[in-house]
Structure 1
Amino acid sequence: MQQILFIDDEAPIREAVQQWLELSGLSVRTCARAEEALALLDADFPGVVVSDVRMPGMDGLALLERLKALDAELPVIMVTGHGDVPMAVAAMQQGAYDFIEKPFTPERLLGSLQRALDKRRLVCENRALRRQVTQQGRIESRLLGVSPAIQQLRRQILELADTSVNVLIRGETGSGKECVARCLHAFGPRADKAFVALNCAAIPEQLFESELFGHESGAFTGAQGKRIGKIEHAAGGTLFLDEVESLPLAQQAKLLRVLQEKSLERLGSNRSIAVDLRVIGAVKPDLAAEVRAGRFREDLLYRLNVAELHIPPLRERREDIPLLFEHFAHAAAERHGREPRPLGSAELARLLAHDWPGNVRELANAAERHALGLGGGAGAAAPQSLAAQLETFEAQCLRQALQQCRGNIAEVMELLQLPRRTLNEKMQRHGLTRSEFLPADDQD
């Protein structure tokens, strides 16, 4: 549960503030001195500090300096009864979240606290995610998600990564096909070799052969020097062919020969060059239908489709949306030098209800706009049943509670006011396990 630590040397003020805030449903602890408060705080304090400025011993500004050294992202709200403008400026320059002048109304303090708590929640959840990623292995840091579908996809990737079989990845636009391909490469024995990506739909047909196979100097008009093609460059590593259905039929035949004979000839050369590589293809349509329509070679399909991976669209794994959105928003905030912006409950509801036709790519774009203060950008949601919306929201509430309580089931039961049996049933239904959320030192 998020907490408020309130520091003031005047007992009547401490008692009044504690009463106000507890009536608003907040957990509050008070201290009379800054030194006493420091002993209660660490870098993972799940809340906000509110401190008077003028106090005996260590004053509020000195405390602020110590707290920022402990955790630069900890929100600290400063309070003074002296209306000292230079002091307020100094506090804000030192990183204070807000500055409130006495006497203040409960509403003024509560409003500032709610914003600060939202910010702190986001910071703590991102840290919990980073710890979880570190605990569970590197693939979670590359292919984010908590849904059963993504967990299964990660397992399939790790099973295939150690092999050299060619793989076909199916998924809608923006679903992360290149990310999956890079994971297959990064977690296999070819990881220290080249990963070469080629978008087959982005190359003019007349340039395909040179792009794939390379050429010798003078092989055709404009060939000024020797060029190493994508296939040769990927030798020993992985060649990723995105939108492989766009590969011209003539180049399909030549690619098939390379895969069969494990060698190629550059344009303008008669010398065979041995190549050992893994080919990963990514497609949107059904390649079998492309074969029936005469646009794709059946024998090449069999060569490429030794194993197949399917990436579910984002609308089928809505429980991944909050985690992905916060990850992208935090990364965008860092990239643009902005403070991370908290995600309100109304905006979260819009994100969960939107169908995301552009999948993860569209979500990342919305998160960047959110980080820049331009709004999340989720469009009008397609109709969704109340039951489906409730299931998605319930899964997110359970996950947040488990993260907040670091896998302590007793604390989750108290926080959500659920009996043990009901909690177990809900966790099982949503594919959640306690071990995902335990601190690293509690893992076996």
Structure 2
Amino acid sequence: MGNNKVIKAEVTAEKQKILIVDDDPSLLRLLGIRLSAAGYAVESAANAKIALGILESFHPQMVISDLRMEGMDGMALFEQIRKQHPNMPVVIMTAHGTIPDAINATKQGVFSFLTKPFESQELLETVQQAIRLQPTSQTTQAKQQLWREKIISRSTVMESLLQQTQQVARSDFPLLIHSQSGTGKELLAQAIHQASHRHQKPFTAINCAAIPEQLLESELFGHSKGAFTGAEKNHTGLFQATDGGTLFLDEIGDMPMSFQVKLLRALQEKEVRPVGSTQSVKVDVRIISATHKNLQQAIIDNTFREDLYYRLNVVELELPPLSQRREDIPLLAQHFLNHCTQQVHQDIKGFSGEAMELLISAPWPGNIRQLQNVVEQSVALSTEVLISANLVRNALRDKTTQLPSFVEARDQFERDYLAKLLKLTAGNVSQAARIAQRNRTEFYKLLNRHHLTAEAFREE
């Protein structure tokens, strides 16, 4: 490679980082020397498998990879990088560079294609073009990551979700977050708001399952003085209070059917009418909704409107349970530990090795909320500088630390109640419905919702 002109990396407080991958040791060394001399921080990998490992800790601004390598080749490596870091530029090198290879690679999203032998000038110009796509310093990166600062994670599955989240945050499309209870849906919704152009406007959250049906309309749309008994003054609803910002509707699957049509109308018309008022008010809010329920099944069960579902679910994000992001457990556990010890002024430094192994391997049906409870109970009972395995084991066994949400408790009560009725009546639906003071059609819907069949109790 010639050196007609020296191109230096732009001067920054921190060096820009490049990962190079090639199974030719001499070329790997030469590229490393040339890029280091130009002012870049360089890491080298002799194959794609090593490169994927380095990628997780080195966090480069770009990757330069050979195309032909033993095992995983350059294009296969590119596909893996794109899954985890979809915005990272990848440059492919090859001694077998042909026009079809170049066209195929660029069509698939490779940033650029270098044919060996190439001049230093060509290499460095390509590198500078790719680097411009990325933040130029860790300080800049840190500023750009403020939107997600409350989300504690280092797992690949969460990183992929957060990159997708940042992309969709730029639009005003309604979002639906689907996940199990206790996974941090509201934190993700807050992060979306912070990454959006609405971040200087209000973010408001409401749990649709926690507010009685008769108060939900007043809470969201507001009411006029004298609209009902106790309405002593005008009340501004959350839609108006959040104007210009983001409204987070948690547990949307538990919203009463009678109110769903009113919400649909408000979303379509972009206006709300306070209870007792004859005047509608224009509002500009972005809706993010969340649920742990299968809304498509709820549509079949006639407990959720199909037209509202498609209005809310323009983009759906699937927030993984804690069991699918176990790499995050040590970070989350230490975060909760630090928070607890600051509150109770205890000098606890961390967890014993065995205690951490228990935390990492536990099933976590209650997800992050359950992990927080386990850490808090362990801190409350600890007398040592390290949380012991016994404390963690006891906290995991203590069901009282796994307090269910209101929705979970209500679902459990309904399921137990219906099962008891069917046992008492030996599976006679008509008799069970009369005892429950519900008609047969409604009673069957309740059974379907909880996956109960009368036939199973007749056999008993």
Q: How does 1:13-412 map to 2 (within 5 A)?
A: 134=142, 137-374=145-382, 375-376=391-392, 377-379=394-396
* Contact kept in structure 1, 2:378 and 2:395, CA below 8 Å: no
Structure 2 Cα separation of the partners of residues 275 and 135 of structure 1: 31
SS in 1 for 2:173: coil
The residue type paired with residue 285 of structure 1 is: K
Would you say how many aligned residue pairs link Structure 1 and Structure 2? 252
* Contact kept in structure 1, 2:147 and 2:192, CA below 8 Å: no
Residues 298 and 285 (structure 1 numbering): CA distance in 2 closer, same or farther, change over 3 Å? same
SS in 2 for 1:379: helix
* Offset from partner CA, 1:197-224 (integer Å, 9 cap, x none): 1101111111111111110000112111
Structure 2 Cα separation of the partners of residues 140 and 180 of structure 1: 8
1:341 Cα offset (Å): 2.9
* Offset from partner CA, 1:252-300 (integer Å, 9 cap, x none): 1111111111111111111111001011111001101101111111110
1:136 Cα offset (Å): 7.6
* Offset from partner CA, 1:360-398 (integer Å, 9 cap, x none): 1111122222333443355269xxxxxxxxxxxxxxxxx
* Unpaired runs of at least 5, structure 2: 1-138, 383-390, 399-460
**Deviates most, 365-374 or 262-271:** 365-374
SS in 2 for 1:356: coil
* Contact kept in structure 1, 2:181 and 2:366, CA below 8 Å: yes
Structure 2 Cα separation of the partners of residues 208 and 378 of structure 1: 37
* Contact kept in structure 2, 1:333 and 1:372, CA below 8 Å: no
* Contact kept in structure 2, 1:174 and 1:358, CA below 8 Å: yes
1:146 Cα offset (Å): 1.1
Structure 2 Cα separation of the partners of residues 204 and 358 of structure 1: 25
TM score, norm. by length of structure 1: 0.54
Structure 1 Cα separation of the partners of residues 142 and 381 of structure 2: 30
* Offset from partner CA, 1:224-270 (integer Å, 9 cap, x none): 11001112211111111110011111211111111111111111111
Structure 2 Cα separation of the partners of residues 209 and 140 of structure 1: 32
The residue type paired with residue 379 of structure 1 is: L
TM score, norm. by length of structure 2: 0.52
SS in 1 for 2:149: helix
1:144 Cα offset (Å): 1.1
User: How big is the alpha-carbon RMSD for the aligned residues of Structure 1 and Structure 2?
Assistant: 2.2
1:161 Cα offset (Å): 1.3
* Contact kept in structure 2, 1:199 and 1:241, CA below 8 Å: yes
* Offset from partner CA, 1:292-320 (integer Å, 9 cap, x none): 11111111000100001111111111111
The residue type paired with residue 220 of structure 1 is: F
The residue type paired with residue 163 of structure 1 is: S
**Deviates most, 189-198 or 328-337:** 328-337
* Offset from partner CA, 1:140-177 (integer Å, 9 cap, x none): 52111111111011111111111111100011010010
* Contact kept in structure 2, 1:143 and 1:154, CA below 8 Å: no
The residue type paired with residue 204 of structure 1 is: P
* Offset from partner CA, 1:386-419 (integer Å, 9 cap, x none): xxxxxxxxxxxxxxxxxxxxxxxxxxxxxxxxxx
Structure 1 Cα separation of the partners of residues 143 and 174 of structure 2: 30
* Contact kept in structure 1, 2:377 and 2:395, CA below 8 Å: no
Residues 310 and 141 (structure 1 numbering): CA distance in 2 closer, same or farther, change over 3 Å? same
Structure 1 Cα separation of the partners of residues 149 and 192 of structure 2: 14
* Offset from partner CA, 1:312-340 (integer Å, 9 cap, x none): 11111111111110111112211222223
* Offset from partner CA, 1:59-83 (integer Å, 9 cap, x none): xxxxxxxxxxxxxxxxxxxxxxxxx
Structure 1 Cα separation of the partners of residues 143 and 271 of structure 2: 42
Structure 2 Cα separation of the partners of residues 168 and 256 of structure 1: 15
Q: How does 1:419-438 map to 2 (within 5 A)?
A: none
Please name the residue that 2:38 is paired with.
Answer: none
1:139 Cα offset (Å): 4.1
Structure 2 Cα separation of the partners of residues 192 and 138 of structure 1: 13
SS in 1 for 2:201: coil
Please name the residue that 2:56 is paired with.
Answer: none
* Unpaired runs of at least 5, structure 1: 1-130, 382-444
